[in-house]
Structure 1
Amino acid sequence: MASETRPIPLRIANKTAYVWDVDDIATIRSKHHICGILTGTLPHLSQQNVFLGVPLVLMPEEAALLVDIGAAVFVDDPLAYKQPTVAQLQKWSLEQEESMKTQLAYTENKTAKEGSNPGRAMSEEAVRKRKEREERKKAQAAAKAIADGAEGSYGESSPPNPADSEGANAPTSDGPKNSSLPYTIVIPASSSSLEWYDPTECTYSTIESARVAGVWDYPSTLLERARCGVFKDLWKQGYFMGGGIKFGGEYLVYPGDPLRYHSHFAASVIESPIASLQPMEIIAHGRLGTATKKAHLLCGWDDEKQEVSYLSIEWAGFC
């Protein structure tokens, strides 16, 4: 796990905060109640909208909170990359090739020990279809022999060998002949191990210093300050927050880790105690929240007092 005393680097690109290290992702979730959103693709998954991988993208409020409490620092990611020398590139290329060869050798040895059977890597549906094709070929060969007057015998020709239908994919003691079978090669996601990656001169421990450098400018408006204030106040009470745009609010508020709990509130941020709110908005929030088994939370931010007031809405259904 990442060291508890080391601030987590939030790599900033285009004013968006990313976390690339899986240990850092686990730390900010378990220790700091920050979830973020995984956006990276994973190999060999047919659907890339259910299970995703690194990097983790943080909401601006999440990134600002982590830096504000001293748990993270901003890193200007594009500026951290220096121009690599030819020797550095050659060394990196050799290391990558060596890593890939090691992983391929391990995978091939493992496949050989398991019988070197490509069919094991297939899905049940693919295996079933393949068997059906082989049976159809056998039936066609037998029917042809009968039509030729062989009366069910194969005459001088030998019966079809099921192994022949395997073709070039037949396994051998050296592994499958088909070299196009896919293997997963692990490439490190973090760039911190690169010799030409040096974030020393472009790391910022406060929001103000990052703002001066032009790396980060959130929050800069009253609404953004209100969102940060509401987010931090709910976070201090032990809640987890996620995006709530699908439920008509800024956040979904969970009593614990979203992997274990359903959200209790959909929260909307009101940037001022005197901000106007239409009656139809209140009705819509109440009905939508109740329809999705949540209470809607109106969070009013007082920028002068730096305080948050809360009002929850539930649809009663009176006629």
Structure 2
Amino acid sequence: MGRKIPLRVSNKKAYVWDVDDIAALRAECHVCGVLMGTLPHLSQQNVFLGVPLVLMPEEVVLLVRKGFAVLIDDPQAHKAPLSQAASRWNTERKEAIKLQIAAAEVKESSEKAAKHALSEDALRKRREREERRAAAARQKALMEGDFAAADTPFQDLSPVPPDARPSTPTLTAAAAYTLSIPVSSAVLEWYNEDGCTYSTLEDAREAGIWDYPVDAHERAKCGVFQDLWQKGFYMGGGIRFGGDFLVYPGDPLRYHSHFVATVIDAPISTLRPMEIVAHGRLGTATKKAHLLCGWDNVKEEVSYFSIEWAGFG
């Protein structure tokens, strides 16, 4: 990747606000995150969500360590705007909206004119067909000696164009247009990332905006996440299935998860038999294999054991 993706940190959580950055994370970095923003026209539902994208802490650690992203102290980057700058920004925003509305109106009027021209051409062709049909009928009547039918004048049965019909007062709804308004805060005059950008976890930790991982379990989760990522898997949160991660063989939009991964802090950690039974039963009930991931902090290696419920006898 040529440009490092800005991860805007607030309250120890990392967010991505740019749609292009969200697409790059998914397509190039195999990092999905979770959308948590409300859509403007669908504010009463929580199935289809929009920006921002919130990342798991393991995803943030991976992206920063691999050099794909930088951390930005978002509250510090937003300075209090001057009244003149805010007024100028609001004026420019209104002018941009007016220009978009004017362009939409011009496009709509041109489409109506083209449609009207097509309808006029269709009416003319239909009138010509009826005239030819009437002339043929008169010629046939003359040949058969039916002079009364031959003297019948031509009647135009073409429909009246909408513009020629008498107008009646109707209530018309206001025209609705789709406008594009920039959502990135990086274009604001009072937004400045200088002195608020950190390219390493150590610098962000010293600045007090990021402290993950802080203990052995969090370091183990980061190590397991990175190892699975390097093997080509996609990861998501696995708390709903009794584990730390859901492991997908490809993009979660195309594949179901194959494993539920549980991170074990060290190879000598204690694991109770009932935990093994519970993981096996839960994995089978959800059509997944449960993956026990033992992290060796000294060797920085992961040992994997999968559990599947099997019948006996």
TM bracket (short chain)? 0.7 to 0.9
Give the structure-2-normalised TM-score. 0.77
Worse-superposed segment, 40-49 or 215-224:
40-49
Alignment match, 1:103: 100
Per the TM alignment, residue 38 of structure 1 is displaced from its structure 2 partner at its CA by 1.1
1:217 corresponds, among 211, 216, 232, to 211
Per the TM alignment, residue 106 of structure 1 is displaced from its structure 2 partner at its CA by 3.9
Name the amino acid aligned to 2:248: Y
Establish whether residue 35 from structure 1 lines up as the match of residue 32 from structure 2: yes
Name the amino acid aligned to 1:216: W
Establish whether residue 168 from structure 1 lines up as the match of residue 171 from structure 2: yes
Establish whether residue 18 from structure 1 lines up as the match of residue 15 from structure 2: yes
**What is the alpha-carbon distance in structure 2 between the residues aligned to residue 262 and residue 47 of structure 1?**
28
Alignment match, 2:286: 292
**What is the alpha-carbon distance in structure 2 between the residues aligned to residue 280 and residue 108 of structure 1?**
68
Q: How many residues align?
A: 260
SS in 1 for 2:7: strand
**What is the alpha-carbon distance in structure 1 between the residues aligned to residue 291 and residue 104 of structure 2?**
52
SS in 2 for 1:67: helix
Name the amino acid aligned to 2:9: I
Per the TM alignment, residue 111 of structure 1 is displaced from its structure 2 partner at its CA by 5.6
Q: Is the 1:43–1:184 Cα contact (8 Å) retained in structure 2? A: no
Alignment match, 1:44: 41
Alignment match, 2:120: none
**What is the alpha-carbon distance in structure 2 between the residues aligned to residue 221 and residue 89 of structure 1?**
44
Deviations 1:253-273 (A, max 9, x none): 011111111111010111122
SS in 2 for 1:211: helix
Per the TM alignment, residue 316 of structure 1 is displaced from its structure 2 partner at its CA by 0.4
**What is the alpha-carbon distance in structure 2 between the residues aligned to residue 292 and residue 112 of structure 1?**
56
Higher alpha-carbon Rg: 2
Query: Judging changes above 3 Å, is the alpha-carbon distance between structure 1 residues 277 and 114 closer, same or farther for their aligned structure 2 residues?
Result: farther
Q: Is the 1:16–1:60 Cα contact (8 Å) retained in structure 2? A: yes
Establish whether residue 269 from structure 1 lines up as the match of residue 266 from structure 2: no
Give the structure-1-normalised TM-score. 0.76
Query: Judging changes above 3 Å, is the alpha-carbon distance between structure 1 residues 93 and 19 closer, same or farther for their aligned structure 2 residues?
Result: same
**What is the alpha-carbon distance in structure 1 between the residues aligned to residue 111 and residue 277 of structure 2?**
62
Name the amino acid aligned to 2:217: L
Query: Judging changes above 3 Å, is the alpha-carbon distance between structure 1 residues 283 and 110 closer, same or farther for their aligned structure 2 residues?
Result: farther
Q: Is the 1:244–1:267 Cα contact (8 Å) retained in structure 2? A: yes
The 5 A counterparts of 1:159-308 are: 168-169=171-172, 178-179=173-174, 183-308=177-302
SS in 1 for 2:219: helix
Per the TM alignment, residue 182 of structure 1 is displaced from its structure 2 partner at its CA by 5.6
Q: Is the 1:8–1:24 Cα contact (8 Å) retained in structure 2? A: yes
SS in 1 for 2:195: helix
**What is the alpha-carbon distance in structure 1 between the residues aligned to residue 307 and residue 44 of structure 2?**
37
Alignment match, 2:153: none
Deviations 1:62-114 (A, max 9, x none): 01100001111100001001222222112101111112222333445556667
Establish whether residue 84 from structure 1 lines up as the match of residue 81 from structure 2: yes
Establish whether residue 6 from structure 1 lines up as the match of residue 11 from structure 2: no
Per the TM alignment, residue 299 of structure 1 is displaced from its structure 2 partner at its CA by 0.6
Worse-superposed segment, 265-274 or 223-232:
265-274
**What is the alpha-carbon distance in structure 2 between the residues aligned to residue 228 and residue 51 of structure 1?**
29
**What is the alpha-carbon distance in structure 1 between the residues aligned to residue 248 and residue 295 of structure 2?**
20
SS in 2 for 1:290: helix
Name the amino acid aligned to 1:276: T
SS in 2 for 1:275: coil
Per the TM alignment, residue 5 of structure 1 is displaced from its structure 2 partner at its CA by 1.9
**What is the alpha-carbon distance in structure 1 between the residues aligned to residue 308 and residue 34 of structure 2?**
29
Per the TM alignment, residue 245 of structure 1 is displaced from its structure 2 partner at its CA by 1.2
Name the amino acid aligned to 2:171: A
Gaps of 5+ in 1: 116-162, 170-177
Worse-superposed segment, 243-252 or 273-282:
273-282
SS in 1 for 2:181: coil
Establish whether residue 62 from structure 1 lines up as the match of residue 77 from structure 2: no
Q: Is the 1:54–1:189 Cα contact (8 Å) retained in structure 2? A: no
**What is the alpha-carbon distance in structure 2 between the residues aligned to residue 108 and residue 31 of structure 1?**
39
Deviations 1:9-50 (A, max 9, x none): 100000000111111111111111111111112232376333
Gaps of 5+ in 2: 113-166
CA RMSD after TM alignment: 2.2
Q: Is the 1:10–1:72 Cα contact (8 Å) retained in structure 2? A: yes
**What is the alpha-carbon distance in structure 2 between the residues aligned to residue 46 and residue 317 of structure 1?**
48
SS in 2 for 1:63: helix
